[in-house]
Each structure stands twice: as structure tokens, then as C-alpha cells.
């Protein structure tokens, strides 16, 4: 671990060699407009005040930091604290970013937001914020995902969003992304593209990180108040990486704080069986630097550079690329990236449910699974802080199925 972690992005939107802006010429001006609007908003106390009020009154911040007494006792290792993002409105941390970008859209005079969604979680959070702010909303979703996630489709429609089914290709997230991009290029004057994680062309990885940093700011104050010192280890799951960087960023210069990002190990190490982009040391294959969705980062791909299909029991971690800032933190050795398998995550969800009375989202259960492996090797006086990114209501069918085994 280096004592001076290099933070980013630079003015070109680069985190070391990663990040940047790989988009068609037509999107350069709108991305610059967004960068400018974000910089202005960040320096405007009125904007910050309005966002803080929405986070408090609408989303339910601050979220508690909970000492997990029974889980601590059960694992017999460090003192465990859970950052309860699962208690937020719509059930996960995604609302933090959606509120921020929604207000930014209003500020830019754009009365329409669009987004793509896989399992529907980001679509629901976006539709929720659009309703609250009086914006019109279109969500792109693969038709196969729509069949698998009917309830989320109804939620978005009930909230007044138009859900557009995408019938191309594999009829999943990748195809929805392409369609949303096409919409944005065509309607860029009136429309804000509300990206859901620390992915995409500059300035999105920066914007989403800044709107998720509230997690780490709160957690830092809370752990200092409760323990009188910083934690030894931070744990978070990594899909695109927004909840993880939201927690980690506030601690990056604290050299005593170790950080672990947990990816989806799926059902095996071969290409197509997992979504582990940075945990190569555990034998997961197929990740190399490349460009996806406008940014240069680690991408799961076949030897010909074709984007690979991925697998995870949790939809939120099932994505072939990872945020460019995570690629940079991995390369600097500042954050360690590991992966746990589907069954380990499901087992972890059951353990957390029984010991703490919390049914976690399967994404967050990946972080819990990593904790279960690490805790017995740690000392009792050590402190672990785990980001519980979301609640498990959406995963009940999968969890119910696993009970039968």
C-alpha cells in the first residue's frame, strides 16, 4: 500500500491511464456542458442545500451505522459495523446519485431524463426521482429483462415513466445501453442521460462518485463517534463501483485503512461464468483494458475483443466493465479486489438474515461473504465497516429457491 494514493480524475477525465471520453463527436459538446454545469452546481451553496434537503426528507439520510453485535459474536473476529444504505427510499444507495443528477438536469433546463436498466433497480430509482422533480422519464430495458423483472416494470410505469423494450441482440442491458445512447444523441437539447454508476465517459465517473461520497462522509463521522477511531477494514461490493467508491473515497488518504472491493465470482472462473474484472489473482479469466460505454477500463472480453457475456446471481454486479477509478486504485494497490461465488453470497444473505434480522440485497451479500472469510483471521479489537448497499426484497424469489436446496 502506497502512502500517497493518486486521486483523480485529471482535467481530461483520466484516472491514471483509465477513464477519458471515447464518444462520437456529437456527444462531446453535451458532455462538456454537463461537466461545466456540475462544476458550477458543486460550488453553489443553494444547489448543495437543495440536494441535502432531498436526501434527508425524501430519501431518508443520514442512514444509520449499526454495530452488528450478533454477527460479530458469531464470526468471532473483529467488531463489525454495517452502513445501512438498505434503509433508503427505493431500497439502495442508487437514489443518492439519481437525486443529484435529477437536480442537475433541472439546473441545465432539461425537462426529460433517460436511463437504461438491467434488473430495473436503476430504472426505478430514476423514475422515482423524475416523478419527485416533475421530469418526464424514459427507461430503456431489454425485453428479456422485462420478462424477468415484471414487478420493476410496473413500478416504473406506476411512477409515470415510459418503459421502452429493446428487442435487439441478447435483449438485455448491453442492448438497452445502445438504445439509450441513440436516444440521447437525438434529443440532447432537452434530455439528460442519467447514468447509474461510476461508468461512462468523463464527467460521469466523477459526478456519480461525488454524489455517492455522502456514504463515506457520514460513515467516517459515525465510526469516529462510536469507536473513537478509524476502521481497520472497509468492505463493499463492486458492480460498476458506485457504492464502493462512495464509501472508500473519504478514507483513501488514511494509510491505516485497508479497503476491499468484492466482485461477482459467479459460478466459475472461465469467461462467461463470472463478472470479476479486477480479481484476476484469484484465477478469473477474460478481463483486459478496453473501451466500453465511452470509458477506458477493465472489460471482460474474448481474445478477439468481443464483449463477453457475464454471470452473477445478483443483477447489480452482472456487468462486463468496472469504473475506471477502480481500475486505477487496483493498479496502485490501494484497494484490494476479490470475488465470491453465487452460493457464498446466498449463504451470507441467510446468515445476515438470521443473526441480524436484515435480508440484504444479493449484491451486498457478496461483501458479507467476503467478511465471513476474513473475520476469523482478524483480531477482536479490530474494526470492520461494511457497506450494506441495498435490501433483499427484490431478490426474494432467488433466495426462496435456494431455501429448497
Ligand X SMILES: *Cc1c(COP(=O)(O)O)cnc(C)c1O
* Closest separation in Å from C-beta 379 to ligand X: 29
Number of residues lying near ligand X (CB under 6 A): 19
List of residues 6+ apart from 19 with CB closer than 8 A: 8, 9, 13, 202, 205, 295, 296, 297, 324, 325, 328
What is the contact mask toward ligand X in residues 192 to 231, using x (rule: CB under 6 A)? -----x----------------------------------
261 is written with which cell numbers? 472491493
> What stretch of H or E contains 39?
helix 28-42
What is the contact mask toward ligand X in residues 297 to 336, using x (rule: CB under 6 A)? -------------------xx-------------------
With contacts defined by CB under 6 A, name the span among 38-46, 66-74, 104-112, 232-240 that binds ligand X.
232-240
User: Which residue among 120, 239, 294, 324 contacts ligand X (CB under 6 A)?
Assistant: 239
Whether the bond into 203 is cis, omega within 30 of 0: yes
193 closest CA partner among 102, 109, 121: 102
**121 binds ligand X per the rule CB under 6 A:** yes
**242 binds ligand X per the rule CB under 6 A:** yes
* Closest separation in Å from C-beta 380 to ligand X: 29
30 closest CA partner among 139, 183, 162, 166: 183
120 is written with which cell numbers? 430495473
Map 333-391 to HEC letters.
Answer: CCEEEEEEEHHHHHHHHHHHHHHHCCCECHHHHHHHHHHHHHHHHCCCCCEEEEEECEE
* Closest separation in Å from C-beta 117 to ligand X: 10
Closer residue to ligand X (CB): 8 or 240: 240
Annotated catalytic sites, by residue? Answer: 94, 116, 389
Residue nearest to ligand X (CB): 390
Answer whether 326's CB lies under 8 Å from 334's CB. no
Closer residue to ligand X (CB): 252 or 378: 252
**123 binds ligand X per the rule CB under 6 A:** no
CA separation for the pair 288, 302 (Å, rounded): 9
What is the residue whose three cell numbers read 441535502? 52
**264 binds ligand X per the rule CB under 6 A:** no
* Closest separation in Å from C-beta 337 to ligand X: 12
Pairing of strands 14-15, 258-266: unpaired
CA 207 to chain centre: 13
With contacts defined by CB under 6 A, name the span among 8-16, 103-111, 145-153, 235-243 that binds ligand X.
235-243
With contacts defined by CB under 6 A, name the span among 106-114, 163-171, 247-255, 358-366 that binds ligand X.
358-366
Q: Which of residues 61-120 bind ligand X (CB under 6 A)?
A: 92, 94
**390 binds ligand X per the rule CB under 6 A:** yes
Residues in touch with ligand X (CB under 6 A): 92, 94, 121, 197, 237-244, 316-317, 361, 363-364, 389-390
Amino acid at each position: 500500500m502506497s502512502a500517497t494514493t493518486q486521486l483523480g480524475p485529471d482535467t481530461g477525465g483520466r484516472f491514471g491511464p483509465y477513464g477519458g471520453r471515447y464518444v462520437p463527436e456529437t456527444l462531446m459538446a453535451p458532455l462538456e456542458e454537463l461537466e461545466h454545469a456540475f462544476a458550477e452546481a458543486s460550488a453553489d451553496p443553494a444547489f448543495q442545500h437543495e440536494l441535502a434537503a432531498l436526501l434527508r426528507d425524501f430519501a431518508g439520510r443520514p442512514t444509520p451505522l449499526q454495530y452488528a453485535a450478533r454477527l460479530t459474536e458469531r464470526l468471532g473476529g473483529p467488531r463489525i459495523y454495517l452502513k445501512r444504505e438498505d434503509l433508503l427510499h427505493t431500497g439502495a444507495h442508487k437514489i443518492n446519485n439519481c437525486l443529484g443528477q435529477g437536480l442537475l438536469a433541472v439546473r441545465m433546463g432539461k425537462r426529460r431524463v433517460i436511463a437504461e436498466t438491467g434488473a430495473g433497480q436503476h430504472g426505478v430509482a430514476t423514475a422515482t426521482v423524475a416523478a419527485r422533480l416533475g421530469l418526464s422519464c424514459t427507461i430503456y430495458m431489454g425485453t428479456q429483462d422485462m420478462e424477468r423483472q415484471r414487478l420493476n416494470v410496473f413500478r416504473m410505469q406506476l411512477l409515470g415513466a415510459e418503459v421502452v423494450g429493446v428487442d435487439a441482440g441478447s435483449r438485455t442491458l448491453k442492448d438497452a445501453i445502445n438504445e439509450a445512447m441513440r436516444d440521447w444523441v437525438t434529443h440532447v437539447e432537452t434530455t439528460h442521460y442519467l447514468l447509474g454508476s461510476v461508468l461512462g465517459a468523463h464527467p460521469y465517473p466523477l459526478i456519480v462518485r461525488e454524489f455517492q461520497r455522502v456514504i463515506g462522509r457520514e460513515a467516517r463521522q459515525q465510526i469516529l463517534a462510536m469507536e473513537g477511531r478509524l476502521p481497520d477494514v472497509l468492505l463493499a461490493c463492486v458492480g460498476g463501483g458506485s457504492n464502493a467508491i462512495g464509501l472508500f473515497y473519504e478514507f483513501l488518504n488514511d494509510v491505516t485503512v485497508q479497503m476491499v472491493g468484492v466482485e461477482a465470482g459467479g459460478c466459475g472462473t472461465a469467461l462467461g461464468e463470472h463478472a470479476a474484472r479486477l480479481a484476476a489473482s484469484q484465477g478469473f479469466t477474460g478481463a483486459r483494458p478496453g473501451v466500453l460505454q465511452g470509458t477506458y477500463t477493465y472489460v471482460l472480453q474474448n481474445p478477439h475483443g468481443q464483449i463477453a457475456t457475464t454471470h452473477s446471481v445478483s443483477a447489480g454486479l452482472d456487468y462486463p466493465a468496472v469504473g475506471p477509478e477502480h481500475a486505477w486504485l487496483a493498479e496502485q494497490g490501494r484497494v484490494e479486489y476479490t470475488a465470491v461465488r453465487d452460493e457464498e453470497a446466498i449463504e451470507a444473505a441467510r446468515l445476515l438474515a438470521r443473526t441480524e434480522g436484515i435480508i440484504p440485497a444479493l449484491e451486498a451479500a457478496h461483501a458479507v461473504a467476503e467478511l465471513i472469510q476474513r473475520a476469523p483471521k482478524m483480531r477482536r479489537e479490530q474494526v470492520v465497516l461494511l457497506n450494506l448497499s441495498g435490501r433483499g426484497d427484490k431478490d426474494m424469489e432467488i433466495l426462496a429457491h435456494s431455501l429448497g436446496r
